[in-house]
Amino acid sequence: MRAAFQLLDGTQPHPCVLTDLQGRVLDMNAAMRRHAQGRESVEDCVRAFCDDPGPLVHGLARRALTEGGAAELIDPGGGGRWRLTAIRAGHRFLLWRVLRNAVPPDRGPDYREAPFLHLVVDGTGRILCMNRDLAPPGGTPPRQIGDLVADLPLRRGGIHEMRLGLPGHMRCMTGPEIDGRQELFFFPADPAEVQGLTPDRFLDHLPVGLVRIAPGGEVIFANRAARALLGERAVPGVRFASLVEGLARSIPERLSEALRGGAAGRPEIARSVGDERELFLQVSLGRIVLDGDISVLAVVSDATEMKTLEAQFVQSQKMQAVGQLAGGVAHDFNNLLTAIQGHCDLLLLRHEVGDADHGDLVQIRNNVNRAAALVRQLLAFSRKQTLRPRTLHLAETLSELSHLLNRLLGEKVELRIDNGPDLWPVRVDERQFEQVIMNLVVNARDAMPNGGRVEIRTRNLTLEAPMERDRATVPAGEYVLIEVADTGCGIPPDRLRKIFEPFFTTKKLGEGTGLGLSTAYGIIKQTGGFIFVNSVVGQGTTFSIYLPRHEGEVQAQHAEDAAPEPVRDLTGQGVVLLVEDEAPVRSFAARALRLRGYTVLEAASGEEALEMLADPEVRVDVMVSDVVMPGMDGPSWVREALKTRPDARVIFVSGYAEDVFRADGGGLPQAAFLAKPFSLNDLTQKVKEVLGGE
């Protein structure tokens, strides 16, 4: 910079001095030496032209640092008029000039004699005035800033490539913007800077976001990639902490650590400040020394996608944990319901229809059934409910369901069902599929309090390639697509991701359990299908269900899958080993079986059951065991028992679905299964079936 100063100002007739940002004199031209030989500060130099230069110099320096340049009149009292100008030259220098016969300050500084380029532009970049005639021979003068600067946009303090015979590279400083006009100052850059010893030239074209930061936290330079991430606010002079907010530690704390040589470039996640979009950044800070000056180099990269994936992973873990919790709660609650329903059935055996207590007992049993339905919703979300799938033609199912749906919707809402031609068959649990459709239709009705229309559309769909949507991948194949669309109020985008979560509802407090959509989600996923949602606020919502086409011939259903015929005679004979860790359930089941003529041996655990079977004198015809128990679970102790008693029949009871029990390694394909909660008749009928009774 000193070489450039001597080249440009050394022969100027007006006094000029080059200082650092603190006002210490670095160099002066011959004209200034005649007035201020040996002066160490700019105040000492200006004292030759006015008596009290302190406030004047400090005010100009402050304005030059923030605005790029400033000027004030000096009237020493002898009739002459002088003007003192201060221009910020790069990041570390101030250029001071004393001009004779200055114009009044309300006309602005006159830079006609200045060795730099001075422009005034409007908000569109149109040049309003300029202190040099840059018109090429036979050509017209430049009209737009782009006619002069080859690498727009302008960067305050940045080095730009110039046109029209100007020095190849000039540093740009910007003055204040007033009434839509802005002053621009261009002066030749230090050759060392142009050669790449500082980041402006060398780093600006790198595809990595780089920001050089002063020890005080101000941005010295931000390359193009960094400005693309941080916005055009990332200009020299702005504090880096005003652009980026640390999530774990504050930016000033990290800068201090980097200046001490710590952190070793360890990246941390931060958030962009003042940006309308949600932008997360990965920021690494390191200490560098350039031209003897210490600064911090920040490497900035976009971490939004990584942060989004992390949030999705956390969400999936949360959903998995909630699913496990829901399944566990449902399992334990099924045990309670089994005990309540069982003892209620025992009481009903002693109270005929005309008895005064009969009605109360029936009410208890009905409420148990309602509670069991709620438990099935929890199991549907956790995908651990018992499904009884069979092959369906959806057109027939929806036609039968339309009468119930019309009653649910009421008079204000119109229902339309549009089935595509020749729908492929699907294999689903009909009752559970109807529950899904009813949940979606009821939600659609609640979204249209003033009336509207619900459309249920079905059609065949072939996916030639896997379909990526939300966080799921639908494999290529043949599907039946069911769409449930409404003309309601829609779902806001911030709630759209949460609607399948359990206990989340868009309804008012007390108006929804938040289990309807989570139940639908669990049923469809357990069936092997997919469910998605599209919604536009004010226009409506569409739920799309993809069910895989059923291939092959329809197989006969297993006996346990089909609805059993009612058995009138439930009495029987035989020895039943009942293993159940829940005492109320064990008590009811044992009494129920004894009432029907069976001999019952009771055990509270698998280990206790094996101890009883160790006696060869003990005869057992059927073993009835809970699946989930402390210590040895049901399948484990039964496999051990069958080694010595291979002819014994096995019945497992559980609050979980049968397919979950089979998939978890039951390893006993001949064992029968009874889902909790079960009634007295359910239990005794299953035992009689297994023992071969009619």
**Overall pTM surpassing 0.75 (yes/no):** no
Counting beta carbons within 10 angstroms of the beta carbon of residue 353, is it exposed (0 to 12), middle (13 to 18) or buried (19 or more)?
exposed
Q: What is the pLDDT of residue 600?
A: 92
Tens of pLDDT, residues 346-361: 888 777 777 778 888 8
> Is residue 280 very low, low, confident or very high in pLDDT (cuts 50, 70, 90)?
confident
Which of 29 and 389 is assigned the larger pLDDT? 29
For residue 133, what pLDDT band results from cuts at 50, 70 and 90? confident
Residues paired with 472 in a beta bridge: 469
pLDDT digits (tens, 9 = 90+) for 153-195: 787 667 788 888 777 778 787 766 767 888 787 877 766 555 4
Phi and psi of 638, rounded to 5°? -65, -40
361-391 pLDDT, tens per residue?
A: 888 877 877 677 666 655 554 544 556 677 8
Looking at residue 510, its pLDDT comes to 40
> Which pLDDT tens digit goes with each residue over 469-513?
877 889 999 999 999 999 988 888 877 777 777 555 555 444 444
SS3 category, 512:
coil
Strands (E), 407-451: 413-419, 426-428
| Tokens matching residue 15 | 């006094």
How much is the pLDDT for 199?
47
CATH number of 203-302: 3.30.450.20
- 579 token code pair: 């293993």
What is the CA 291 to chain-centroid distance, rounded?
A: 44
Question: What is the DSSP secondary-structure string of 141-198?
Answer: PP-BGGGTBSSPSP-TT-EEEB-TTS-SEEEEEEEEEETTEEEEEEEEPPHHIIIIIS
- The CATH superfamily holding the domain 390-548 is Histidine kinase-like ATPase, C-terminal domain (3.30.565.10)
For the domain 1-115, what is the CATH code?
A: 3.30.450.20
Domain coordinates of the chain in residue numbers?
1-115, 203-302, 308-366+564-694, 390-548
Name the class of domain 308-366+564-694.
Answer: alpha beta
pLDDT score at 558: 39
3-state secondary structure of 522: helix
How large is the angle between the packed helices 583-595 and 680-690, nearest 10 degrees? 60
In this structure, the dihedral spanned by the alpha carbons of residues 97, 98, 104 and 106, taken in order and rounded to 10 degrees, is 20
User: What is the model's pLDDT at position 548?
Assistant: 92
pLDDT average, residue stretch 286-313? 77
Distance CA 366, CA 364 (A): 5
Are 1-115 and 203-302 in the same CATH fold? Answer: yes
Of 59-68, 147-156, 382-391, which range is least confident? 382-391
Q: Span 129-135, mean pLDDT? A: 79
pLDDT at 659: 56
Neighbours of 356 (CB within 10 A): 7
Dihedral sign (CA 551, 556, 561, 566): positive
pLDDT digits (tens, 9 = 90+) for 426-435: 988 787 788 8
